[in-house]
Amino acid sequence: MTRLTSLENVTFPVQSRPLYSDIEVAGHHKQMAIDSHKVLFNVISGKALSVVSRDYQVVTNEQAVEMGKRCCRELFGLDEAADLEVFSVDAPSTGSYCFIDLVHKGYTMNLWDSGQKPEVYIPYVRVTNSYNRTRALKFDIGFCRKICFNGVIFERQTISFTFSHVRHELQPSAIKFDIKKGLLEKLINEFRHLTKTVKETEIPLDYAFQIVSGVLGIPDEEAAKNEKNPERMAETLRLVNQCRETVDRYLGENGYAVFNAMTDIASHVRPCRVFPREKNAMQRLAGEWLRDFHRRAALGPLEWDNYLQRIKENQWRERPNGFQRGAVSQALS
């Protein structure tokens, strides 16, 4: 599955054109304009991106990046001269949506207390944008491990914002971010607490791969054997072996080692026919699992067979206290 991984690949010009339908009236074909909708297309490739309502306000990826930089400056307390970098771009070959990660490399954090080997992470802001209405314009907070750029997104920490609906071109300055004072420091402290606690929680090595594969939806050897297509069978086995090697590479029978293996696979294993899940979705699952595992481990020793069964049945994603999943972001319409 081809992916776009450069900012240049996703900053193509986008234009809208009228939408027509070929209809038959009294035995004659004619073109009728559909006034309620329009077509968005990639000017460079000439391919259609989506059909949207007439009043749909397009936000280009270039504009989204500029908004993301404003978000970073407000979140990190930076001035206009701050050096912000795009360190990751992920989008399908159509360019219909994208995820762009922005970092300020001068802003790093060490997870562990002094006296231990440093474990350095870089906070980042993920900008989500789309031209086909499948994803709202959104700004999420995440952390990437500096030594390998394994990333994780904390879904509940989506940054809320508002903007003015205008018919002319939307300017980045129209966005008004709602970033509570001390939000980043609070999230950093929470991340430190979660990782420190799960590091102290033992996970038997025999269960590590089963946990990772269950959370991320990675097929196993049994699934490979059930594949009737020889090519898909081979592809499934290659994926399983690659993921097993990744889990085995992270020494230590504890929750933090499993979390590292999970974020490594989420960040670096490319989607394929037998594993079509996107990086953004997997990194969110890793963040969700970290919180859930921390909560369950705090209740006392885990019965591992029962825990694995909960993962297989996707019950681990149940939220306590009626918490509703979903981002607190403003969809563009």
Q: Where are the alpha helices (DSSP H) in 164-322?
A: 183-199, 205-216, 221-225, 230-249, 255-268, 279-297, 304-312
Q: Is residue 3 part of a domain?
A: no
What whole-number distance in Å separates Cα of residue 282 and Cα of residue 198? 19
Q: Is residue 235 part of a domain?
A: yes
pLDDT of amino acid 1: 47
Does residue 26 sit in the same domain as residue 71?
Answer: no
- Exposed / middle / buried, residue 331 (Cβ in 10 Å: 0-12, 13-18, 19+): exposed
CA atoms within 13 A on the CB side of 115: 1
Contact in structure between 250 and 264 (CB atoms under 8 Å): yes
What whole-number distance in Å separates Cα of residue 100 and Cα of residue 91? 9
Q: Cα 201–202–205 angle (5° rounding)?
A: 145
pLDDT of amino acid 331: 31
296-310 as b/e, with b when 16 or more CB fall inside 10 Å? ebeeeebeeeebbeb
pLDDT of amino acid 157: 67
Decide which of 141, 160, 195 is a domain's last residue.
195
pTM, two decimals, is: 0.86
Residues 147-180 pLDDT 10s: 888 999 976 667 888 765 444 456 667 788 888 8
Does residue 28 sit in the same domain as residue 122?
Answer: no
Q: Is residue 296 part of a domain?
A: yes
Which residues span the domain enclosing 242? 197-322
Strand order in the sheet with 28-42: 14-25, 28-42, 48-53
Q: Is residue 203 part of a domain?
A: yes
Find, among 305, 307, 270, the residue nearest to 289 by Cα.
307
Q: Is residue 333 part of a domain?
A: no
Q: Is the pLDDT of residue 66 over 70?
A: yes
Does residue 86 sit in the same domain as residue 179?
Answer: yes
Does residue 122 sit in the same domain as residue 187?
Answer: yes
What whole-number distance in Å separates Cα of residue 288 and Cα of residue 38? 38
Does residue 164 sit in the same domain as residue 76?
Answer: yes
Find, among 191, 181, 155, the residue nearest to 285 by Cα.
155
pLDDT band at residue 270 under the 50/70/90 scheme = confident
Q: Is residue 202 part of a domain?
A: yes
CA atoms within 13 A on the CB side of 268: 15
More confident residue, 105 or 218: 218
Q: What percent of the chain lies above the pLDDT cut of 70?
A: 90
Residue type, 96: S
Q: Are strands 28-42 and 48-53 parallel, antiparallel or unpaired?
A: antiparallel
Find, among 204, 299, 216, the residue nearest to 254 by Cα.
204
Q: Is residue 2 part of a domain?
A: no
pLDDT band at residue 325 under the 50/70/90 scheme = very low
Does residue 38 sit in the same domain as residue 110?
Answer: no
Mean pLDDT estimate for the chain: 86
DSSP classification of residue 6 = S
pLDDT band at residue 181 under the 50/70/90 scheme = confident
Contact in structure between 82 and 104 (CB atoms under 8 Å): yes
Q: Is residue 77 part of a domain?
A: yes
Decide which of 195, 214, 229 is a domain's last residue.
195
What is the average pLDDT across 317-323? 51
Does residue 299 sit in the same domain as residue 289?
Answer: yes
Q: Is the pLDDT of residue 302 over 80?
A: yes
3-class DSSP state for residue 208?
Answer: helix
Q: Is the pLDDT of residue 118 over 80?
A: yes
Residues 193-214 pLDDT 10s: 999 999 999 999 889 999 999 9
Does residue 239 sit in the same domain as residue 154?
Answer: no
Does residue 65 sit in the same domain as residue 164?
Answer: yes
Does residue 206 sit in the same domain as residue 128?
Answer: no
* Count of domains forming the chain: 3
Does residue 129 sit in the same domain as residue 227?
Answer: no
Q: Is the pLDDT of residue 332 over 70?
A: no
Decide which of 195, 219, 244 is a domain's last residue.
195
Does residue 118 sit in the same domain as residue 242?
Answer: no
pLDDT of amino acid 164: 55
